[in-house]
């Protein structure tokens, strides 16, 4: 039997990868979106995800993977089975995100709601008073913005996957519309 000189196919199945040290030949689950697979790019020392397209750099001596195209740059260590989050995120940025989120939730709604309690309208303050409804709407909308800010900062895998799926669906729809117009 002739020896096969071709490069071996990329290993993907879990049993092959299980227990193996991190290397540039195997593929790995993406630690960002947890939907795609991370593998090294051709002729490059970087890796990319097949689903979220994030770019990673590898340090094989430390067995770590670091995402390069987002801030803060998170990194993970391969424990021969799965990725373990290695670094805490940039603490200054994390404080800023939490401070901004708290500010958005507390201050605008308070600025609308508190004057209504301090200076109630003639006839008393009702639950359906304009200022109370306005304060509740402000609280709801600003809370949504704060949640979005936190989810974006922590890049929750479900959120990342959903965002990419929506982007791709929109792109497909655009292509379909473009094709329909070009046929006519
Ligand atoms: Zn990914």
CA–centroid distance, 136 to ligand 1, in Å, is 37
Last residue of a domain, one of 70, 85, 100: 85
- Does 9 fall in a domain? no
Q: What secondary structure letter does DSSP report for 57? A: E
Q: For residue 55, how far is its CA from the centre of ligand 1 (angstroms)?
A: 9
Cα-atom radius of gyration of the chain, to the nearest Å?
25
Residue 146 domain flag? yes
- Ion ligand 1: residues, Cβ under 5 Å: 30, 32-33, 36, 49, 51-52
SS3 state of residue 97:
helix
Question: Rounded to a whole number, what is the largest CA-CA distance in the chain?
Answer: 97
User: Each residue of 17-62: pLDDT tens digit?
Assistant: 667 788 888 889 898 888 888 888 877 778 999 888 889 998 888 8
For 34, the domain range is 14-85
Residue 49 Cα, ligand 1 centroid: separation in angstroms? 5
Residue 137: inside a domain:
yes
Q: Residue 34 — left, alpha, or beta (φ > 0 → left; ψ -120 to 50 → alpha)?
A: left
Task: Please give the distance, rounded to the nearest whole angstrom, from the Cα atom of residue 157 to the centre of ligand 1.
Answer: 8
What's the domain count of the chain? 2
C-alpha of residue 9 to centroid of ligand 1, in Å: 21
Q: Token digits for 123?
A: 């006839």
Q: Determine the Cα–Cα distance for residues 181 and 184; give it in Å rounded to an integer.
A: 5
Helix (H) or strand (E) holding 65: strand 64-67
Give 61 Cα–ligand 1 centroid separation in angstroms. 23
pLDDT in tens, 51-94: 888 899 988 888 889 888 877 778 888 888 888 887 656 678 88
Q: How far apart are the C-alpha atoms of 14 and 170, rounded to whole Å?
A: 33
């Amino acid at each position: 039997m002739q020896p096969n000189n071709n490069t071996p196919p990329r290993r993907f199945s879990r049993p092959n990868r299980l227990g193996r040290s991190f290397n540039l030949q195997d593929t790995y689950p993406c630690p960002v979106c947890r939907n795609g697979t991370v593998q090294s790019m051709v002729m490059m020392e970087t890796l990319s995800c097949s689903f979220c397209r994030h770019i990673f750099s590898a340090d094989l001596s430390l067995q770590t993977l670091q995402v390069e195209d987002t801030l803060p740059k998170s990194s993970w260590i391969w424990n021969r089975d799965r990725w373990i989050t290695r670094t805490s995120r940039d603490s200054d940025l994390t404080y800023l995100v939490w401070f901004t989120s708290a500010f958005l939730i507390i201050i605008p709604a308070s600025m609308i709601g508190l004057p209504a309690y301090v200076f109630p309208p003639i006839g008393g303050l009702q639950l359906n008073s304009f200022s109370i409804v306005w304060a509740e709407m402000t609280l709801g909308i600003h809370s949504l913005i704060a949640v979005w800010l936190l989810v974006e900062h922590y890049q929750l895998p479900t959120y990342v996957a959903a965002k990419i799926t929506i982007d791709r669906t929109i792109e497909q729809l655009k292509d379909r519309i473009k094709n329909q117009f070009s046929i006519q």
